[in-house]
Amino acid sequence: MAGLSKTIVLLPGDGIGPEVIAAATAVLADCATEFHHRFTLREFPVGGAALDRAGAPLPPETLAACREADAILLGAVGGPRWDGLPLGRRPESGLLALRQELGLYINLRPIRLREALAGISPLKGALNKRIDLEIVRELAGGIYFGEHRTERSNGLERAFDVEAYSSAEIERVARFALARAAARRQRLASVDKANVLATSALWRKTVERLAAAHPEVAVSHLYVDNAAMQLILAPEQFDVILTSNLFGDILSDAGAALVGSIGLIPSMSCGDGPPLFEPIHGSAPLLAGQDRACPLGAILSAGLMLREAFGLRQEADWVETAVDRVLARGYRTADLAEPGSVVVGGSEFVARLREELRESLKQLEPYGWGV
Ligand code: IPM
Ligand code: MG
């Protein structure tokens, strides 16, 4: 196959964002070299870094570059430096504005227990369970984007956050989740709070209606409190989980903990505009600049980009397999360590990974893996 030519916008952001994006960029560069692709990388500020440099968490140049990209890779936003700012002006609002401006209403978060990491799962007997699920989180609506307001009357402060969903907003993300489940193990769990919330009642009704078009997918509905419990008690029952913006934010951190570390989990946001890939971890200001952060969430996000945005399955498998081999050999950043591990900094982990990437190509080239 002739190599692809793609423009990737890098948004390192804050805290550990720049380190993990540098790690993922190195892997993308190796991929381009080895498989003869051309990835043009363009870097722009977002979040706190953009507030400091350009006075806004999503400067117009950053947004314009993102609109023209084939894909976007983001590190993390936020940090104590900007915690005093009002809600709409914080670094996080840059990320939220980006998601909304680009119409990225779908967020996919794969949660899979990697064999080499079964020992660090907090779940008893994790080794015997198959944890391999995808959370499909609605990303451009719900309570994140409803009115946020604080008012004062009679000496009391009251705050409001409005959750609103239209059936069209539910439909577009539900269709994606149903198709995803159809292509996997044909099970979809839709998570809501339909016993209390009107938005959830509409959510459930809409998902039920669409499910009729997918008789091959077994659709179930769970209340979010029960879903949180089930995720911990029996995560192997889940294939695809579909849920709202807020519930998806919460459940995906819980899912990440089950498979060892939030540092591991990649994500893809897609919809109308260019897809955005980002680790689900935050900016971890306490780790920033110390070479201690786990680069895997960002590296696996780059892998997800190769697979989902560019259709480069072989390249994505190459990255995933090398990650598993390095972990199996015991190399771990501190968050993934267990007795017997060789604890290394992020940059040494990346060096080992790149060695493994090269080695695996040398071994597999004669069998037609390479190009
Ligand atoms: C996430 C993050 C963001 C979110 C924050 C940084 C706004 O927690 O991507 O899960 O809540 O969506
Ligand atoms: Mg979150």
**Short-list 259, 227, 263, 258, CA closest to 243:** 227
Instruction: Please write the tens of the pLDDT for every residue from 264-298.
Output: 999 999 999 999 999 999 999 999 999 999 999 99
Let me know whether 5 and 72 are in one domain: yes
Q: Which ligand sits nearest to residue 282's alpha carbon? A: 1
Pocket of ligand 1 (CB under 6 A): 77-78, 92, 95-96, 249, 280
Count of domains observed in the chain: 2
Domain that includes residue 323, residue range: 1-105+271-371
- Neighbouring C-beta atoms of residue 203, cutoff 10 Å: 29
Element holding 70 (H helix, E strand):
none
Instruction: Please write the tens of the pLDDT for every residue from 305-347.
Output: 999 999 999 999 999 999 999 999 999 999 999 999 999 999 9
**CATH code at position 348:** 3.40.718.10
Q: Which atom of ligand 1 is nearest to the CA of 278?
A: 9
Let me know whether 237 and 299 are in one domain: no
Residue whose CA is at the smallest distance from ligand 1 atom 12: 249
Q: Which atom of ligand 1 is nearest to the CA of 96?
A: 7
Confidence of residue 127 (pLDDT cuts 50, 70, 90): confident
Let me know whether 56 and 19 are in one domain: yes
Instruction: Please write the tens of the pLDDT for every residue from 296-308.
Output: 999 999 999 999 9
**CA distances to 113, 135, 180 from 246, in Å:** 24, 12, 21
Confidence of residue 2 (pLDDT cuts 50, 70, 90): confident
Let me know whether 313 and 172 are in one domain: no
Position with higher pLDDT, 364 vs 352: 352
- CA dihedral (133, 134, 138, 144) positive or negative: positive
What pLDDT score was predicted for residue 261? 94
Let me know whether 332 and 241 are in one domain: no
Are the CB atoms for 252 and 242 separated by under 8 Å? Answer: no
**CA distances to 39, 116, 266, 362 from 331, in Å:** 29, 10, 20, 21
Let me know whether 163 and 248 are in one domain: yes
What pLDDT score was predicted for residue 125? 82
Element holding 168 (H helix, E strand):
helix 167-182
Structure tokens at 44: 């722009």
Catalytic residues: 144, 193, 225, 249, 253
Q: Distance (Å, rounded) from C-alpha 244 to C-alpha 203?
A: 9
**CA distances to 33, 149, 325 from 368, in Å:** 17, 59, 20
Q: For the chain, where are the E strands, in sequence order? A: 5-13, 38-43, 71-76, 106-112, 132-138, 148-153, 156-161, 187-192, 218-223, 240-243, 268-270, 276-277, 331-332, 342-343
Let me know whether 171 and 294 are in one domain: no
**CA distances to 68, 260, 338, 345 from 113, in Å:** 35, 8, 15, 22
- Beta-carbon neighbours within 5 Å of ion ligand 2: 249
